Every structure is written in C-alpha cells, then in structure tokens.
Structure 1
Amino acid sequence: MREMWSYLSTNYQQILELLGQHIYLSIFSVLVAVIIGIPLGILISREPRLSKPILGVTNVVQAIPSLALLGFLIPFVGIGSTPAIVMVVLYSLLPIVKNTYTGLTNIDRDILEAAKGIGLTKSQTMRKIQLPLAFPMIMAGIRISAVTAVGLMTIAAFVGAGGLGYLVFSGVQTVDNAMILAGAIPACILALLIDFVVGKLETSLSYERTKKSGKKTSKKLILSFVSLIIIIGGVFAIYNKAHADEKIVIGSKNFSEQLILGNMLADLIENKTDIKVERKLNLGGSQVTFSALKNGDIDAYVEYTGTGLVNILNQPPANDPQKVYDYVQKEFNQKYGISLLKPLGFNNTYALAIRQDTATEYGLETISDLAKISGSLTMGPTIEFPNREDGLIGLTKAYNMQFKDVKAVDGGLRYTALENHKSDVIDAFSTDGLIQEFHLKVLKDDKGFFPPYYAVPIIKDETLKEHPELKQILNGLAGKLTDDKMRELNYKVDSLKQSPAKVAKEFLEKEGLMK
C-alpha cells in the first residue's frame, strides 16, 4: 500500500491526464452508440423482419474478442483514438438496440389500440406513448453500455489511444503492482461513478417527463450535451488530420526496452531540431507497430532484424547478422517504402531462462540439456512465442524437444509465474532486466537456432524526404548500446521502477548525445 501511495503522489499528473482521456473516449463512444442504437431499435420494432439480422449482427460483434477486433480495425482506421472508439461503439450497440426493441415491443397492446382510437398517427404514438413507456428499459441499456465502455476503453492503450489502460499495460510488462492499481482503481471508480450518474439522469428525466416545462428543458439539455461532445470530437479529429504532417510521431512496442528506445528517438529529435514530436508508445506487438508505420500513423520506431525477417517478411530464420540486415533493408525499402538506419549495437535475441534450482537439479547449461528432460517440465512463454517459426515451433524441431505443457502468459507476468513454480521454463530476451532481478539461469543456444535480433530504427521514406536531417540525428545512436548497457537500462525500469523517459534521457546525456 505504501508503494501505491508513493506512485500516486509521484505520478498524479500523468494519472489525471490519462483519466481525462479515458473519460472523453468512454463518454464520446457511448453517445455515438446511443445515436446509432436507439434509431436502430425503433426501426426493428416497426419492421419486425429486420429484427433478426440486426440483432444477430450485434450479437456476433459482441462475441468477437476485443483485441481481435482492434487488430482487424488497425489496417482500415489506423491507430489512436479512432479504432478504440469504433470498438467500444460496436460493443455498446447490443444492449442499447436490444433494450430499445424490447421496451417498444412489450407495451400493452390495449394502450396502443387506445392511442389509435383517439386518432394518433404512428409517429405520434411512438413519440407520445411508446418511447415514454419504454424509457426505463432504454436507459437500462444505455447504463449497461456506459459501464462496459469504461472497462473496454482500458484496451485503448493497445493502439496508442491513451487512457488508464496505459498504466495497466505498463504495470503488467514491468511487474509493477502499484502502476497496475494506479490504472485499475480509477477505472473501477469511474465505472461506478458513471453508473451512478446515468442512474440519477434516468430518475431525473423520468420525473421531468411528467412536467411539460421540465420535458422541454431536459430535451434541450440532452441535445446540447450530445451536440457539444460531437462538435468537440469533430474538431479534435479535424485538427489532428490537419496537423498530421507538421509533426514526427515516434512509436514503440509494449515492453520496457521499447519504451526506453522510443523515448530516445523522440528526445534526440526534440533536442537537435525544432520539429514537434509526438510519442505514441506502448502500442501492441510487431503487427500493430509495423501496420501503424505502413499506414502513416507513426513515422519511426525501433524494430529488430530477426523480427523483420521472420515475422514481417515471412522468411525462415537465418544466422548471419549482416545478411539478415541487408535483406530486411532491401525488402522493407522496396515493398513498404521504409528505410533501416544503422543498428544501435545490441542483439536482443530470444533466450530460454529457468530458475536456479531447476538448473541445479537437472544440471542444465544448454538448450540441448533442456531438451533431454523437457517432457517433465512446463513452459510459460509469451503469447506469441508458441506460434512463431523462430519461437517454439522451430525450436521443437531444431532440438527435438516436447514440453509436458505450455501455458502462455504475456509480459512480465511470465516471470512471476516462473518464480511461483507455476512454470519451469520461459522465453526471455537477452537484454531483459527481469532476468537479473529474478536471478534466472539463461541457457546457451548451443545449436545457434535463434536468429540475430539487432535493434535498428526504421523510418518512413516520406518522412526522410521531408526531414533528411533525421537520418544523421538518429544514426547518432548507432553502436552506442551494447547488450550489457541495454540490460542495465531495462533493469532500471523493470526492477528499480524508474520511468522509461527518465532512463532514456539520462543515457543520452551520459553519452553526450544531447546538447
């Protein structure tokens, strides 16, 4: 608890900023869902033949995993707030559409017949009879959507939209419970607060409906509020579009090393030029960051040559560092209009790590030693490792090994699982700071299976044409980071809980790369 309060007092400004982003994204998404969902509910109540297909589609959308939906949206709408808003709107439609439809179709037929008998038209019946009677059911759907939206929006950090999920994702990667709670607790409080506010709004509007003047006032209030949110959102989107070419956007993947390197690139550009720099850090894995670069949502980030070869270009693993670099450089440039700059100096290749007691018990030094007893051990890798040719798929073939069980756990949590004896082997990166913190044994890749993963900045050719000075500036990092140096920087973030921005800046100043 003391660590929690210490983190809050030190980082309260960042937490408030992320909370503001979270509130805006959540409320805007729900309002858009209301504007779409209520008319859809009214439509299918009037046209019953449309109810099954429309409700069926909203049900199917609800069943799609949120991360899968985000991954699908990225190639079409890019990264940032747009895919996050689209995702939440799609997930919010079902309760709003279904509750509107249910509320309108379950009204006593005698009441509708009476309305018809006194000469009300269909639109008058809908406006004066059906909607007021269905109002509590409609508000219940909106209430469900609003609360759900707050939780869903934590995933917005996965695509660079910000929000409290940024703290949760970062905390998971660095095994920092204080950071996780700093994101999770405000999100929970916000969900409860929104539930309370929507409940009060429902009660207030229900009361106001009984008074003619109150009805007009509440209508004006709601319309004004909705219009304001839409106008703000429109202005925000137009502004971002208009200014997209006036700044350099630096991205990164979602682990400590990438956050450090992303801050280094941004700091160098800010320090040596007058160009405005925007940081879109802590995105997802290679698919998200590389797609963002291709689509122009970011201008540069640090990639690894092995990842470029195997995962992006779908080539078999290779072991010659220079050949891998040359091939990736050529293909990236020809296929995507992306340039590789000079390598930073360290090779963050895959490694297999085990506890010291496991190494002592079985006398393990190499991966070949591990292969002999792998059938009695459980592996707890990152989620993507079992599905990579340069990961578990190829590793099992090269070393003829088969683990008793494979339980994928992403981020820094796999280290916690290993320490708690929930797994026996994990995939690690050679520069991971958590290897040192958890005192793990790294097994030697005696068959040289893992390809080289030299870190290298990659940047859009269009960006270099517009700002050719960036090439020399970013190449100033070339060869400055050895394996040991990078591991030390990661250790400061993962174990000493220093911020990636601070660690990056201090390194650049120490190396004389900042003015």
Structure 2
Amino acid sequence: MTSVAAVLAQQGSFLDWEWISANTDLIWAQTVQHVVLTVVSVVVGIVLSLLLALLAVRWRWLTGPILAFGGILYSVPSLAAFALLVPFFGITATTAVIALTTYTVLILVRNILIGLDGVPADVVEAARGQGYTDRQVLWKVQLPLATPVIIAGVRVATVTVIGLVTVTALIGLGGLGDLILTGFRLLPPLPVMVTTGTVLSVVLAVVFDLSLVGLQRVLTPWTRRGAD
C-alpha cells in the first residue's frame, strides 16, 4: 500500500520557500487563530478548574465526582465533542473553545489538588497561628507554594490543546490545522501546506511550554534560589 508521505512526495516539495513567501498572510492568519483558540481555551480551563478544585478542597467528598466528571470529558473523542456541540452553538469559535476547554479540566483540577495537598501542614498551621484567615491561607500560602505543580499541569494542558486545535479544522476553525487539512484535500495535494502547518504547530507547542517554564521561574523565585 502506498503511504500518504509517498503520495505527497510525488506531488511536490515538502518545503517550498516560494510558496511560503507568497502566502505569509495566510500562514500568519492561521497561526494567530491557532494561538487565540489555545489561549482562550486554556484560560477558561484554568478558571473553571480552579473553581472546581476549590469546591473539592472545601467539600472533600466532591473530589471523586469532580475528577470522574473531568475523566468523562477527557475520554470523549474530539470529533464526537464537536459533533455534539455544533447543533447547539453552530460552527463558531464558541464551539471550538467549549470542546477544547473540556480536555483541560481533568489535567488542571488534578494538578491543582495535588499542589494544594502537597503544601506542608506545619506551614499552613504557622500561617493560621499568625492570624491568617482560611481565605488568606489559601491565596497567600497554599496557592503560591502549589504554583510549580499547577504550572506543570498548565503546561500539559496547553500542549494538549495546541494539538487538538488542529482537529477543529474539520469545522473550519482549525488554525494551522486548516493548512494541514487543505494541503491534503487539494487536487493534487500540496505537501508544503502540510509541512508548514505541522512544523508551526510543533513550534507553537515548544514556545508555549518554554514560556510557561519561564513564568514559573518568575512566580517562584524561592525554588530558583534553592536550586542555586
């Protein structure tokens, strides 16, 4: 059986600088759309997951149901998620964001809870001994100390969403995924579109991941001093 790569190779170059230079506006527009969908979905996921995690901290019996709910959302195939949402929200960015956000919930809630539970009990008690209220303990002690674990979850969720955004090309909102899909659909196929979309998706994942590592270092200077 002839492979897809072999078929594409017969149609033209995987790296055509002339095509790339002539289509920079298209590439830029799709990259921006990819970034916007990723950022909005991850931010919404962080807010939703933080609320769910705080509910689980307040009422521990909710931990199991919340994680189970997140697990169910995570297990739904991406195409099925889009198919379920399109009748309600149409082929819109809202559909894409809702679907993409669902895949962040399990990752983020679990990491937030692990981070909060990992804060030493004596540190929490010391804060309370200094007159901190439960809310102050949470926001001034527990969340800052849990930041490395939380950001680790954000990194995984972000890279996951970047990959899934390419699938939204099937409903016309795929960012760089639209380049990949169009490259396959053209007659004859255009390998350079596939290559461009794929390479830039990987680059975005690396850039976002390194940026979050840098953010963690800024937000947790005590860990950096400890390493030094």
Query: Which TM class, normalised by the smaller chain length?
Result: 0.7 to 0.9
Alignment pair present for 1:107 and 2:119: yes
Q: CA deviation at 1:208?
A: 8.8
Distance 1:120 1:209, change over 3 A: farther
Q: Deviations over 1:377-412 (max 9, x none)?
A: xxxxxxxxxxxxxxxxxxxxxxxxxxxxxxxxxxxx
Aligned residue type for 1:200: G
The residue that corresponds to 1:200 in the other structure is 214
Farther-moved stretch of structure 1 (59-68 vs 139-148): 139-148
Q: Deviations over 1:77-96 (max 9, x none)?
A: 11121111111111111211
| TM superposition shift of 1:160 | 1.9
- Given the alignment, which residue of 122, 141, 145 partners 2:134? 122
Structure-2 separation of matches of 1:110 and 1:22? 44
Q: Is the 8 A contact 1:103 1:134 kept in 2?
A: yes
Higher relative contact order (CA 8 A, sep 6+): 2
- Partner Cα separation in structure 2 for residue 116 and residue 20 of structure 1: 46
**Residue of 66, 73, 79 corresponding to 2:91:** 79
Aligned to 1:187: 201
- Paired residues of 2:32 and 2:175 also in contact (CA < 8 A): yes
* C-alpha deviation, 1:200, in angstroms: 0.7
Q: Cα offset for 1:16?
A: 0.9
Question: Within 5 A, what are the aligned runs for 1:4-19?
Answer: 4-19=16-31
- Residue 4 of structure 2 is matched in structure 1 by none
1:170 matched to 2:182? The reply is: yes
| Cα shift at 1:138 | 0.9
Q: Secondary structure at the match of 2:123?
A: helix
Higher helix share: 2
Give the C-alpha shift of residue 34 in structure 1: 1.2
8 A Cα contact 1:168 1:181, kept in partner: yes
- Asked if structure 2 preserves the Cα contact closer than 8 Å seen for 1:77 and 1:83, the reply is yes
Work out the CA distance in 1 between the residues paired with 2:44 and 2:155.
14
Instruction: Map residues 269-308 of structure 1 onto 2, 5 A cutoff.
Output: none
Contact 2:14 2:195 in 1 (8 A): no
Identity of aligned residues (%): 35
1:330-370 deviation digits (Å, cap 9, x = unpaired): xxxxxxxxxxxxxxxxxxxxxxxxxxxxxxxxxxxxxxxxx
Which of 97, 120, 134 is equivalent to 2:109?
97
Amino acid of the residue matched to residue 76 of structure 2? I
| 1:155 aligns to 2:167 (yes or no) | yes
The one-letter amino acid paired with 1:203 is R
Q: Is the 8 A contact 1:42 1:104 kept in 2?
A: no
- Structure 1 pair 3–204 and aligned structure 2 pair: CA distance change class (3 A): closer
Distance 1:2 1:28, change over 3 A: closer
Report the CA distance between 1:162 and its aligned residue: 4.2
SS in 1 for 2:220: helix
After superposition, the C-alpha distances for 1:105-164 in whole angstroms (9 at most, x for unaligned) are 122222223333333221121122211111111111111111211111111221122411
Q: Mark the CA change 1:208 to 1:77 in structure 2 (over 3 Å): closer, same or farther.
A: farther
Report what 1:488 is aligned to: none
Output one character per residue of 1:448-502: Cα deviation in whole Å (capped at 9) or x when no partner: xxxxxxxxxxxxxxxxxxxxxxxxxxxxxxxxxxxxxxxxxxxxxxxxxxxxxxx
Bigger radius of gyration: 1
Superposed CA RMSD in Å reads 2.0
TM-score (norm 1): 0.39
Q: What residue identity is the alignment partner of 2:209?
A: D
Question: Alpha-carbon deviation of 1:101?
Answer: 0.8
2:158 matched residue in structure 1: 146
Query: Following TM superposition, by how much is the alpha carbon of 1:172 offset from its aligned partner in structure 2, in angstroms?
Result: 2.2
CA distance in 1, matches of 2:91, 2:150: 32
Structure 2 partner of 1:57: 69
Asked whether the equivalents of residues 100 and 165 of structure 2 are also in contact (C-alpha less than 8 Å), the reply is yes
More strand by share: 1
Contact 2:119 2:145 in 1 (8 A): yes
Q: Is the 8 A contact 1:4 1:182 kept in 2?
A: no
Shift of 1:32: 1.1
Deviations 1:260-299 (A, max 9, x none): xxxxxxxxxxxxxxxxxxxxxxxxxxxxxxxxxxxxxxxx
Give the count of matched residue pairs.
Answer: 210
Structure 1, unaligned stretches of length 5 or more? 211-515
- Distance in 1 of aligned mates of 2:213 and 2:122: 30
Between the aligned partners of 1:7 and 1:47, the Cα distance in structure 2 is 57
State which drifts further: 9-18 or 65-74: 9-18
